[in-house]
Amino acid sequence: MDKERWKEIHYEETDSTNLRAKQYARELREETSQTREIKVVFTADLQTAGRGRLGRVWESPKGDGLWMSLLLRPELSPASASMLTLIAALAAAEGIENVLSVKTQIKWPNDLVVNGKKICGILTEMHADLQKIDYVVIGIGVNANMTGFPEELQEKATSLYLCSGQKTDPDLLKQEILASFDHFYEEFQKCGDLSGVKDIYEKRLANKGREVRILPTGAGISDENRGSEEWTGTCLGINEKGELLIQDTDGSVKTILSGEVSVRGIYGYV
Ligand code: ADP
pLDDT(257) > 60 = yes
Q: Please report which confidence band the pLDDT of residue 230 belongs to, taking 50, 70 and 90 as the band edges.
A: confident
Answer yes or no: is the C-beta of 61 below 6 A from any ligand 1 atom: no
Residue nearest to atom 3 of ligand 1 (CA): 111
Determine the pLDDT at residue 267: 66
pLDDT at 260 exceeding the cut of 50: yes
Q: Is 110 in the pocket of ligand 1 (CB under 6 A)?
A: yes
Distance 52 CA to ligand 1 centre (A): 6
Which residues have C-beta within 8 Å of that of residue 267, sequence separation ≥ 6? none
The letter for the amino acid at 59 is E
Q: b or e along 50-69 (b: 16 or more beta carbons within 10 Å of the residue's beta carbon)?
A: bbbbeeeebbbbeebbbbbb
Per-residue pLDDT, 4: 74
DSSP-derived pairing of the beta strands 111-114 and 117-128: antiparallel
Q: Which atom of ligand 1 is nearest to the CA of 53?
A: 7
CA of 58 to the centre of ligand 1 (A): 6
The mean pLDDT value for 149-158 works out to 94
55 pLDDT more than 90:
no
**Sheet architecture: strand order including 253-256:** 253-256, 244-248, 231-238, 211-216, 261-265
CA atoms 9, 11, 12, 18: torsion sign = negative
Find out whether the beta carbon of 56 lies less than 6 Å from any atom of ligand 1.
Answer: yes
For 174-222, what is each residue's pLDDT tens digit? 999 999 999 999 999 999 999 999 999 999 999 899 999 888 775 545 5
The pTM for the full model equals: 0.93
From 16, 54, 59, give the residue whose CB has the most ligand 1 atoms within 8 Å, as the site to mutate.
59
Flag whether pLDDT at 2 surpasses 50.
Answer: no
Residue nearest ligand 1's atom 26 by CA? 157
* pLDDT confidence tier of residue 33, bands split at 50, 70 and 90: low
With contact defined as beta carbons under 8 Å apart, do 94 and 103 qualify? no
Write phi, then psi, for 247 (nearest 5 degrees): -90, 120
